[in-house]
Structure 1
């Protein structure tokens, strides 16, 4: 049950991001922006950390259906894994499509993944914190059919790993037969486009045949403009998850009539009653006036945020690999600290100087965690102590413009 291919592949993810950075350097292309990439990966951190807390309930739901409601028990054989691969991808297609066509799912489970206005491998890691809470409902038929939990988690993890490499502009078109059957960078660039003809297209995970079968396929005709029609304009990963829910809640409150309120939740994003203007189509992108959100602080603060982000990333990786060693209370406290950290670093990247004193509090909290680690492992605690002292010095230096 602790086997998670997605977490085990974390080193591979960053190795490929490194290759893409080298490609950017060689081609002199502007693929990455530091603030956007940190925000993307921070959303991934938030998603994995929250998944560590509620993931047990989600997996338990699947196991319960498999154990008590399955119509048969599918044996572990090569053919059953192959069949499960196809079925997992089909279920993913419908969850993914529903996450675009049902406003409630879009705002709670998926919009975060589309918020970046860049397109690179870091965007693959940009995931919503609440997505897994709803996706499992779409996979429960597989438990009912009798595919055991371990096989399901393995195949589902491999399905997600495949989708990492398609988030790149470094690869143009692949051979026609491959483009016809499988999801590719070209197909998925379309999916991330905010151009009206690209919206709600190419929902496939691995196999592009589902979009061709169900009428949602769109060929890439020109490079898309990426992002969402209402830009989030924040580097704070917590606010990036919360803002769409706040906006949806406000829309429900402002919509007259109980039935109309339900339609706001379960109809497509952009729907509203006729008296409020009717369904709002996505506007065409004017590339002459379009500008990406790109606020950032002075360079010393950027360097400080980057160093702290790397430290938080290392700490998160250790947490994810060792979470089974902690009690629920400790796990909750460490998860809370990680989410606070990525939110605080996002705020600092937005140059909000009023939040600088809060960073001192976070560093003090970091020291308290080091004390805890000192009790658990002296060498880890000692190394952590030096990191905290270095962080205080670097933060003090970063405040000098």
Structure 2
């Protein structure tokens, strides 16, 4: 039985081009539908005069999304090569069968939860994810805001490949997981039936994740399934309306370069200015919340010092 389950033949690297052609480009195929639905949402928002969209942010999100698609498509062959090579070296391998998509998706989503959580809890990884949270409005265009350097997070999904799933299964599942997250970025879908809200990452659950209020920060990491959050203590139901954006919002909302790299540049500058290895490591890999608090405290101290020095320099006029 184990031989039948894990005894799939090795894929020769010479067949890589065949595998590459067989691996579906689901995101490319779905892109026209996603743009159509986004256009409809923008039109409805305009007709209803709802504050769900911002022109500058829509431009920025669209440009970021187009760049992500180009980069992802360019990296497809290299990523497939890596996973075919890994699959080839495993002593256990599953064949390309429909039922393997189910366990692969569940396991992938579990590791996606942890990749997402770490991206919020460690600053270096936050630089690859803050792009997605910097919009101050919540709409379908936010799903396009995927960092141009997010592919470095592929290391979090290597354990999924080690289970022996066929590379096409893995590649397809990873795309379905991305596509699932498109529809949850909207204000127009409110609460769904309780059983749906209990199992899945719905628009209501994900709106919480994008909220910048203290009670909403670092909650609801689940990409497809929300029960990971329920099991691991990071679940928060939607109560008051979320305030979207990050704790210190960006100024240039339409520039995709700024949207993608502002936090990375800030991190590099903070590390460069920090004194001592411990401080440098803190600014590189500390909690983004702790880093923000430290910088705020430092700014207040600097302001107090400036005020004190100014007070000493300005002498009262003698009459």
Range class of TM-score, shorter chain? 0.7 to 0.9
5+ residue gaps, structure 1, are 281-401
Match of 1:49 among 59, 70, 73: 70
Give the distance between the partners of 1:95 and 1:8, measured in 2 at CA: 26
Does the 8 Å contact 1:271/1:278 carry over to 2?
no
Match of 1:82 in 2: 102
1:251 aligns to 2:267 (yes or no): no
Shift of residue 189 of structure 1? 0.6
Match of 2:145 in 1: 126
Tell me the matched-pair count. Answer: 277
The list of structure 1 runs, each at least 4 consecutive aligned residues, that deviate by more than 6 angstroms after superposition, is 273-280
Give the distance between the partners of 2:256 and 2:275, measured in 1 at CA: 32
Give the distance between the partners of 1:60 and 1:263, measured in 2 at CA: 35
1:199-243: CA deviations, max 9, x gaps?
111111100011111111111111111111121211110121121
Give the distance between the partners of 2:150 and 2:264, measured in 1 at CA: 13
Aligned ranges for residues 256-275 of structure 1 at < 5 Å?
256-272=275-291
5+ residue gaps, structure 2, are 1-19, 300-319
| TM-aligned CA distance change 1:65 to 1:178, over 3 Å | same
Give the distance between the partners of 1:222 and 1:275, measured in 2 at CA: 28
Match of 2:129 among 104, 110, 113: 110
Give the distance between the partners of 1:220 and 1:261, measured in 2 at CA: 37
Higher RCO (CA 8 Å, separation ≥ 6 residues): 2
Shift of residue 141 of structure 1? 1.1
Does the 8 Å contact 1:99/1:110 carry over to 2?
yes
Shift of residue 8 of structure 1? 1.1
Instruction: Give the structure-1-normalised TM-score.
Output: 0.65
Give the distance between the partners of 1:75 and 1:63, measured in 2 at CA: 13
1:95-127: CA deviations, max 9, x gaps?
1111111100101x1111111111100111111
Does the 8 Å contact 2:100/2:169 carry over to 1?
no
| TM-aligned CA distance change 1:130 to 1:273, over 3 Å | closer
Match of 2:118 among 70, 94, 98: 98
Does the 8 Å contact 1:187/1:202 carry over to 2?
yes
